[in-house]
Amino acid sequence: MHLELYKALRSLRLDSDQATGVVEALEEYLAVKIKEATADLEAQMKGIEARLQSTESGLKAQIKAQTWVIGSVGLLLAVIGLAPAFARLFH
């Protein structure tokens, strides 16, 4: 688009510097308008990212707790399973 605009401005007899200036000004204007238009989306994305990080931290904590529970249950089952063997050794 920029080259086409530049060529159109040149065909209207604007010199090269003027045509370049118009194209650059339009680019700058469009960049500002795009930033303004996407500002709300960026804020929403940052909020979503924060919530995801919070959820991730919670899930990691839950997994860690469940790992301890599973390990404790496994140890308890091992002790219960070995109890008869220990009973025979000491009787």
Burial 40-63, CB ≥16 within 10 A → b, else e: eeeeeeeeeeeeeeeeeeeeeeee
Helix %, strand %, coil % for the chain, to 5?
95, 0, 5
* pLDDT one digit per residue (tens) for the chain, 91 residues: 588 988 898 898 889 999 999 999 999 999 999 999 999 999 999 999 999 999 999 999 999 999 999 999 999 999 898 888 878 888 7
pTM for this model (two decimals): 0.51
